[in-house]
Chains A and B, each alone.
Chain A
């Protein structure tokens, strides 16, 4: 079955850019049925939808983050990525990638990767 695995630097300094990657295995990232999503969760808080991408590269972002976020896909490597610029302490969170069946729900999730923003 499809598995997702996030990877990232763990620690990043304020004002810097953080890049996370989600590797997709056991299934095709070229699926016409799915978007590939990022969701984050600050410590002790709820879930925040960041955005998603279709295999064609079409993206949709949360307006609250749109000016700082970019999601890209590399179908040849079967992974998609999140780049968040000008990070602050408020961006410290667990970042999850997920498979999002179009017009349905996020049915497969990675285990999450923690990003800590600290000087």
Chain B
């Protein structure tokens, strides 16, 4: 199985801040790395697929990049609705593992 490591595990930030979250697969996953946002009591929501494809309706302040074994999610200017938990997930090989999550809190 491919293991995903996310850092940081938690992060406190203020509205307007720029934040980055990293995801490191234990093996190369080519471009097949996705990012989800989950708010309390809600299902995960796909933000970005295959490294950098922004999903319809997702604000442009979200962006992502990377390849192989190093990927980054960036939020350019945090908005109040962005405080949530973020998960990376690889769809390169089964099982399609998730990272442990990064909890983003209001400072």
Does B associate with A? yes
Secondary structure at the B interface, as helix, strand, loop or mixed, is: loop
Contact-residue size bin, chain A (C-beta under 8 Å from the other chain): 20 to 34
The answer to whether A104 and B91 touch across the interface, beta carbons within 8 angstroms, is yes
B residues less than 8 Å from A112 (CB atoms): 43
B44: which A residues are within 8 A, CB to CB? 39, 47, 96, 106, 109
Specify which of B1, B43, B91 is in contact with A110 (CB 8 Å cutoff). Answer: B43
**Are B50 and A63 closer than 8 Å at their CB atoms?**
no
Q: Is the CB of A49 within 8 A of B98?
A: yes
A49 to B32, CA, bound (A): 16
**Distance in Å: Cβ of A61 to nearest Cβ of chain B:** 8
A26 beta carbon closer than 8 Å to chain B = no
Instruction: Determine the chain B residues whose CB is within 8 A of the CB of A61 once the complex forms.
Output: 95
Q: Are B95 and A63 in contact (CB under 8 A)?
A: yes
Q: Contact flags (1/0) for B93-107 with A, using CB distance below 8 Å?
A: 011111111000000
Asked whether any CB of chain A lies closer than 8 Å to the CB of B45, the reply is: yes
CB <8 Å contact, A60 and B94: yes
Question: Number of contacts between A and B (CB, 8 Å)?
Answer: 63
Counting chain A CB atoms within 10 Å of each CB, the highest count among B50, B91, B98 belongs to B91
With both chains docked as a complex, state the minimum distance between the C-beta of B21 and any C-beta of chain A, in angstroms. 14
Determine whether the beta carbon of A106 is less than 8 Å from that of B98. Answer: no
Cβ of B26 under 8 Å from chain A: no
Q: Which residue of B lies closest to A65 (CB)?
A: B95
22 contacts between A and B (CB under 8 A): A37-B96, A39-B44, A39-B98, A46-B87, A46-B99, A46-B100, A47-B87, A47-B89, A47-B98, A48-B98, A49-B89, A49-B97, A49-B98, A52-B96, A60-B95, A63-B1, A96-B43, A104-B34, A104-B49, A104-B91, A106-B34, A106-B46
Extra contacts, 17 of them, besides A100-B91, A100-B96 (Cβ < 8 A), are A46-B87, A46-B98, A46-B101, A47-B101, A48-B98, A49-B98, A61-B95, A96-B43, A96-B44, A101-B49, A104-B91, A105-B91, A106-B34, A106-B44, A106-B46, A107-B49, A109-B45
Interface residues of A (CB under 8 A from B): 37, 39, 46-49, 51-52, 60-64, 96, 100-101, 103-107, 109-112
